[in-house]
Amino acid sequence: MQIYLPIAEISANIFALLGMGGMVGFASGMFGIGGGFLMTPLLIFSGIPPAIAVATEANQIVASSVSGGLAYWQKRAVDIRMGLVLMAGGMLGSIAGVYLFRHLLMLGKVDATISISYVLFLTIIGSLMLRESIQSMRAARQGKTISLRRPGQHSWWLRLPPRIRFRQSKLYISIYPPLLIGFLVGLLAAIMGIGGGFIMVPAMIYILRMPTNVVIGTSLFQIIFVTAGITIMHAVTTQTVDIVLAVLLMTGGAIGAQIGARVGQRLKAEQLRSALAIVVLLVGLKMFYDLVNKPNELFSIVEKGIGL
């Protein structure tokens, strides 16, 4: 059954879109990730213009972070104050990102920028995750546990004034590192069509030294607001948000995520992380190949006055 997407201005198969949403939702439920960094490339591979894929995915992430974040909110596993500081940085970063996005779109460089960002981040994060999961699998075999949090003396950048007390995270640290992390993740979120959880969560654990029990809830909390802001800004500046496409992805994604979460609970965390790392690396590799391989068609057209 076909449905016409009013912003992408193409007709697509409803079940294919629901299925794509479902698959990525399954992965996101299983691995506990947002899935934006899988969904956006998948949309691009299937022929949705990259600019529309990015903006529409921001809209979908709002839905998936609300449904994922609700549980953490009810368990009070959200550091609201930290969330607000990250969000403030995220808003500034995403404003810069949307502005840059619009500029690149006019220059015809947005597609390549999206691809390059993906290649860089997917390779870096994928390699780090793979290394870390292999190490902890080895450690588990030897009967050791690796503590992610190493309490003790804060580095100098965490002591820069003004400092804020984050009670829920049991931290008294400078406002600048969370602001800067929020800013960078917001910038990437706007350009790449991601929530940025897969960058935010490690940054919160390793750089801000937050306790792991509030990390995911806080990350989702700020992602809701930042991606909502990004959706509105993309809609206003470039008219690239396709609500029909977003709703189909949300529906498939929501169902997939619930099934994925149930399957994920039966698997070991290290195995899940190494599987995710491999998926991440493969997506990055495919994007890298598309960038360096000589395309069959060197030319492309943009018609001015008829959308993008």
Partner 1 sequence: MKQFLIAGIGLCLIFISPSFGAKLVTDLSKDEIAIEANFTGDKILMFGAIDSTSNAPKADVVVVVRGPSINALVRKKEHQAGIWLNGAEVTFGAMPSFYSIASNRPLAEIAPVKTLIDNELGTQALEHLPISGAFISEELQDFAAAHIRLKKRQGLYRNDDAGVQIISGRLFRSEITIPTQVPLGDYKIDFFLFENGRLTATQSSMLTVDFYGIENTLHVLAHDMPLLYGLTGVLIAILMGWGVATIFRRL
Contact residues: partner 1, CB under 8 A: 2-4, 6-7, 9-11, 59-60, 62-68, 70-71, 108-109, 111-112, 116, 224, 228, 231-236, 239, 241, 243-244, 246-247, 250-251, 254-255, 258, 291-295, 297-306
Of the two residues 168 and 227, which places its CB atom closer to partner 1 in the complex? 227
Q: How far is the CB of 23 from partner 1 (least distance, A)?
A: 17
In contact, 24 and 257? CB cutoff 8 Å = no
| Cα→Cα distances 127→99, 113, 115, Å | 30, 21, 18
- Residue 254 CB, nearest distance to partner 1 (Å)? 4
| Residue 68 or 177 with smaller CB distance to partner 1 | 68
Paired tokens of 156: 């100098």
- Report whether 81 contacts 250 (CB < 8 A): no
Q: Which is nearer to partner 1, 180 or 228 (CB)?
A: 228
Of 5 and 158, the one with the shorter C-beta distance to partner 1 is 5
Closest separation between CB of residue 253 and partner 1, Å? 9
Question: What b/e string do you get for 114-152 counting C-beta neighbours within 10 Å, with b at 16 or more?
Answer: bbebbbebbbebbeebbebbeebeeeeeeeeeeeeeeee
Shortest Å distance, C-beta 182 to partner 1 = 19
| In the complex, minimum distance from the CB of residue 157 to partner 1, in angstroms, rounded to a whole number | 33
- Shortest Å, Cβ 146 to partner 1: 32
**What's the min distance (Å) between Cβ of 3 and partner 1?**
6
Buried (b) or exposed (e) across 27-56, using 16+ Cβ within 10 A? Answer: bbbbbbbbbbbbbbbbbbeeebbbbbbbbb
Q: How far is the CB of 294 from partner 1 (least distance, A)?
A: 7
Q: CA angle, 291 as apex, 285 and 296 as ends, to 5°?
A: 120
Least distance CB 69 / partner 1 (angstroms)? 8
The amino acid at 206: Y
For partner 1, which is the closer residue by CB, 51 or 254? 254
Backbone angles phi, psi at 216, to 5 degrees: -70, -45
Closer Cβ to partner 1, 176 or 288, answer by number = 288
Contact status, residue 171 vs residue 209, Cβ threshold 8 Å: yes
Residue number, 145 or 301, with CB nearest to partner 1: 301
Of 282 and 302, the one with the shorter C-beta distance to partner 1 is 302
CB nearer to partner 1: give 150 or 298.
298
Q: How far apart are CA 170 and CA 79, in angstroms?
A: 10
Contact status, residue 7 vs residue 236, Cβ threshold 8 Å: no
Rounded to whole angstroms, how far apart are CA atoms 166 and 154? 14
What secondary structure does DSSP assign to 98-153, as a single string? HHHHHHHHHHT-HHHHHHHHHHHHHHHHHHHHHHHHHHHHHHHHTT----S---SP
**CA-to-CA distance for 163 and 144, rounded, in angstroms?**
36
